[in-house]
Amino acid sequence: MLVIFSILGINIFEPLQQSASPNRLRLTGPDAAGEGAETDDGFIVFAGALARAETVESFKEWTKGWANLRGSLISSNTLVPVEGGASLRLTTDQVFKSPSAAAAILLGRNANGLIEWKHSSGSTLKQLREQTVGATSEADAPGT
């Protein structure tokens, strides 16, 4: 099972040794909300995040890998029902291979994590990455 979980991107049995980005990000949607950050190993979503209990129909058809991952998180009790039934709660910090995978699991639909995850300033993850690349490029430019 540990090998299968690893292949599916479920790292619940591995210690979190990677360093988290100082940019804590937030995602919100219908019956979903969570905080996360980029890490050396992927994108971590912190325990307590809420995932939408119901997925859209196309989620199962077009994103089978994410749908299977979501099913595994539910069957392993990493995502558990919340009173009222509209949401599932993440019971432990969870590392995903990408911010899009993390967003899709929480939102119950296909999602572009680069625009779904936002900083408290309102900047998307995509904008934060562009700012970081721009700052690095300017620092490396000749004559600076």
pLDDT at 17: 46
pLDDT in tens, 41-85: 999 999 999 999 999 988 877 778 899 999 999 999 999 999 999
Helix-strand-coil split of the chain, %, nearest 5? 40, 25, 40
Percent of the chain clearing pLDDT 70 (strictly above): 77
Please give the model's pTM, rounded to 2 decimal places.
Answer: 0.78
pLDDT at 18: 45
Q: How far apart are CA 138 and CA 22, in angstroms?
A: 21
Tokens 């910090």 correspond to: 93
Q: What is the band of 143 on the pLDDT scale with cuts at 50, 70, 90? A: low
Beta bridge partner(s), residue 29: 32
Strand residue runs (E) in the chain: 25-29, 32-39, 42-45, 50-52, 79-81, 87-90, 94-96, 118-119
Beta bridge partner(s), residue 39: 20, 42
Per-residue pLDDT at 139 exceeds 70: no
Averaged over 28-45, what is the pLDDT?
96
The domains of the chain are located at 2-140
